């Protein structure tokens, strides 16, 4: 797989609690230079980053992150606010407790409400695979498919585990044809990136692939 193709599917990510504008700006510069799909950044930087990149790069942010247990109303406000500030893509975290309580209708309703709050922009649904059983992951594939969301995503990277090849393959076997797959968390190098793409992911959330390309250039 060509490097350009891999980079074009990367959401170049910086979500550390202590991230500074200088670091976010450098992330945007790299995202533009290397042709990434987007930069995924904290919501507080979205407006500044959108103004900085001037349409050269999609801005992605996260809501209900990383725990997912905010109220639906709060998540909807976060999504709407992010889009108003210039986000083209929103990555939301589901309510994991609702999965454990089998509140399938509530989960579906919440994702639908957040999708509406995104005003036509892309919505990716993080289900935090490391906290779910395979049965729960399959059920969430069905719910995300029914919700109208654009992507199902493996992980926040903050939950104790990241993307696995098994989870991406499971997604590929259980989501509807209109739902795309994002693998995120622990994608360490170009080999990992290529493996996840070959298994069916069409986006990668990673801070390391651009670093790996820079190391090759050096």
**Active-site position among 11, 30, 91, 167:** 91
Tokens of 207: 């801070």
Which of the residues 153, 167, 180, 192 is marked catalytic?
153
What angle in degrees, to the nearest 10, is found between the helix axes of 72-84 and 104-117?
20
**Is 153 in the active site?**
yes
Residue 13 to residue 203: CA distance in whole angstroms: 12
Q: Based on the number of CB atoms within 10 Å of its own CB, is 91 exposed (0-12), middle (13-18) or buried (19 or more)?
A: buried
Whether 91 is a known active-site residue: answer yes
- Alpha carbons 25 and 59: distance in angstroms, whole number: 12
Question: What single string gives the DSSP state of each residue in 68-99?
Answer: --S-HHHHHHHHHHHHHTT-SEEEEE--HHHH
| CA distance readout (Å), 149 to 1, 48, 136, 169, 201 | 28, 26, 18, 19, 15
CA 36 to centroid of chain Cα atoms: 14
Which residue among 150, 180, 182, 192 is the active-site one? 182
Q: Could you give the CA distance from residue 81 to residue 26 in angstroms, rounded to a whole number?
A: 24
Active-site positions read 91, 153, 182
């Amino acid at each position: 797989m060509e490097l350009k193709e891999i980079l074009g599917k990367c959401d170049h990510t910086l979500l550390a609690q202590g991230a500074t504008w200088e670091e976010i700006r450098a992330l945007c510069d790299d995202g533009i230079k290397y042709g990434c799909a987007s930069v995924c950044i904290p919501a507080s930087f979205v407006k500044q980053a959108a103004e900085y990149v001037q349409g050269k790069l999609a801005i992605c942010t996260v809501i209900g992150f990383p725990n997912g247990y905010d109220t639906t109303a709060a998540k909807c406000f976060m999504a709407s606010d992010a889009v108003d500030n210039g986000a083209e893509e929103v990555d939301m975290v589901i309510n994991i407790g609702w999965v454990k309580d089998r509140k399938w209708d509530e989960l579906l309703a919440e994702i639908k409400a957040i999708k509406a709050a995104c005003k036509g922009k892309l919505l990716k649904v993080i289900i935090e695979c490391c906290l779910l059983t395979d049965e729960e992951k399959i059920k969430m594939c069905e719910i995300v498919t029914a919700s109208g969301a654009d992507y199902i995503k493996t992980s926040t990277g903050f939950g104790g585990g990241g993307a696995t090849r098994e989870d991406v393959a499971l997604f590929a076997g259980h989501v509807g044809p209109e739902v795309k797959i994002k693998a995120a968390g622990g994608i360490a190098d170009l080999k990992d990136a290529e493996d996840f793409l070959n298994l069916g992911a069409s986006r990668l959330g990673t801070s390391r692939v651009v670093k790996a390309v820079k190391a090759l250039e050096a």
